[in-house]
A and B are shown apart, each in its own frame.
Chain A
Amino acid sequence: MEWANDKSKGGVLAHLERLETQMSRSCKNLEDPPRETAESDLGTKIHKLRCLRDKLRAEVKQRQARIKASTANAEPDQTLEISEQEAVGGKEENMKAILQAYRFTGLSGKRTSRGVCVCISTAFEGNLLDSYFVDLVIQKPLRIHHHSVPVFIPLEEISAKYLQTNIQHFLFCLCEYLNAYAGRKYQADQLQRDFAAFLAGPLQRNSLCNLLSFTYKVEPQGRSFPFCARLLYKDLTTTLPTDVTITYQGTDASSTSWEEQRASHENLFFTKPLHQVFTSFARNGER
């Protein structure tokens, strides 16, 4: 139904609301009860609410008793149901213990009506980075209700492997992937932000930050960009590359000093985080 065409201010619903407030205001004006009666009104209200509360409490007790009674004479299937309930309760306790233990690895969680929401805080070299959450529903089977894990992290693979059998391992594995991704991303961002003077052109990267390609020089004042770097991170749980290829593009390729430099750079990229490599280039340049 379209009320939008109504000419009066705000339409029919607003009009009805105005009538309602008018009515309640006129009621108030007619009977302005003296203080005492107002207090006794509140008193009656409190009494009514208390009675309602007691009634509901009694009902809850009755239902619990009924359940206990029915399970006492239960069929084998029904007892299985209860032990499943206990198993679920046990899982909750287990989860609580895991979360307490892993608090220091950036893992924390809070109870939800359905289960638990786990928060994974990533960090790299003492810098706190992004947080991700996984909302778990504690049922049989255990399932993920919501999450904020980026789509290129293999969450489905990890949960297929570990979620049902070993929650601990699932969380630990996911932590590993997310922390490693955050660390690689941090290095790439630092390189782009703080060492842009050493790079020719944009840093080529991808969503997982597991392939980086760039052309660089070792002195910000120098005019040529003699080195090409290609870094591959085939192990998604690490923040250092698994493959490093440095090529020299300069004109005097025959010079041995360039070859020495190239080889030493390769070693640096294998062993140190990106921004540290460039910090050392900068420091060497200052000498």
Chain B
Amino acid sequence: MDETVAEFIKRTILKIPMTEMMTILKAWDFLPENQLQTVNFRQRKESLVQDLVLLCESKRASLRDAALLDIIYTQFHRHQKVWDVFQMSKEPGEDVDLFDMERFKSSFEKILRRALKNVTVSFRDAEENAVWIRIAWGTQYRKPNQYKPVYVVYYSQTPYAFTSFCHLKSNTPLLSQALTVASNHHKIVKMDLRSRYLDSLKAIVFKQYNQLETKFKSDFHGGILAERKEPLRCLIKFSSPHLLEALKSLAPAGIADAPLSPLLTCIPNKGMNYFKIRDK
């Protein structure tokens, strides 16, 4: 096993919290169950990691296997990344989209490789017909940096792609092109929408609403807030199955002054939560 691969696997496993170790290794499915049972999971983490890396060496883990482990770790810790949203569009009147996942993957990788010889591309299928893509960028003369990869989450036959924040902005046009062409779109645009929470971003761009009416719920049983003549200053923590809708209903419920700041209300309508405020 390549020394760089061994080091990469070691550093990835070291990041995994002990409470998740078994779950993630099982999801990786590279070390079989019976081999994992021979490892002492109660020892100090550094020794455990050494044992695991030795097992990986004996099974001749490749860069591909290591990249897959990295994807799984990131899927478990997706909140550690900040996600941007790209919106793609097609020409009007196009044929029905017969999305073929295997063709998408090979097309995507081909486009990247044609432009950049030193790049590592890995895929992992996910639920709801989505795919997680991991890209480690290199340059013409340098091998890919496995420690600063970019992730893309794409749900098939949708116009949206979620990408983790990329330090190397110079590769964004290439990534955009690969995504657009491989998914049968024509244009791509970055939205002013950014968050650590993929589920929230999904809910906003996929416009997924459930039918529950969001009511304002007070813990004080109307005691302190009822029949007041003067305004009350305090810190309020909002939590709700659909927070933005709940905020919208504050004004009609008579609890907040209307109209609510458009900064809050435009988030679902315009699909943006990233605002640049400038002097006039």
Contacts and interface: CB of A to CB of B under 8 A. Distances in A.
- To the question of whether A and B form a pair in one complex, the answer is yes
A211 B223 contact: no
A220 B233 CA distance: 70
Interface in A120-164: 133, 146-148, 150-152
Contacts of A174: none
A1 B129 contact: no
Contacts of A234: 95-96, 98
Max chain A CB contacts within 10 Å: which of B96, B99, B206, B210? B96
Contacts of A211: 98-100
A208 B157 contact: yes
A152 B158 contact: yes
Interface of A is mostly: loop
Interface stretch (A64-72, A100-108, A199-207, A272-280): A199-207
Interface in A1-30: 1-4, 13, 16-17, 20-21
Contact of A206 (B156, B160, B207): B156
A171 to B, nearest CB: 18
Contacts of B100: 204, 206, 211, 213
Interface string B206-241: 111111000000001001100000000111000000
B55 interface: no
B96 A17 contact: no
Given A13-B224, A208-B157, A2 B96 contact: no
B220 A207 contact: no
A117 B213 CA distance: 13
B101 interface: yes
A210 interface: yes
Nearest to A119: B211
B98 A148 contact: no
Task: Report the contact-size class of chain A (Cβ under 8 Å from the partner).
Answer: 20 to 34
B235 to A, nearest CB: 6
Contacts of B209: 146-148
B20 interface: no
A236 interface: yes
A3 B234 contact: yes
B255 to A, nearest CB: 15
Interface string B95-117: 11111111000000000000000
B235 A3 contact: yes
B3 interface: no
A173 interface: no
B14 to A, nearest CB: 32
A210 B98 contact: yes
Contacts of A117: 211
Interface string A62-102: 00000000000000000000000000000000000000000
A236 B96 contact: yes
A131 to B, nearest CB: 10
B155 interface: yes
B257 interface: no
A232 interface: yes
Interface of A: 1-4, 13, 16-17, 20-21, 117, 133, 146-148, 150-152, 204-208, 210-211, 213, 232, 234-236
20 contacts: A1-B235, A2-B235, A13-B224, A17-B220, A17-B223, A117-B211, A133-B211, A147-B207, A148-B208, A148-B209, A151-B208, A152-B158, A204-B100, A206-B100, A206-B101, A206-B129, A208-B99, A213-B102, A234-B96, A234-B98
Interface of B: 95-102, 128-129, 155-160, 205-211, 220, 223-224, 233-235
- Ranked nearest first, the 10 interchain pairs of A and B with the lowest CB-CB distance are A152-B157, A151-B206, A207-B157, A206-B99, A207-B129, A206-B156, A146-B209, A207-B156, A211-B98, A17-B223
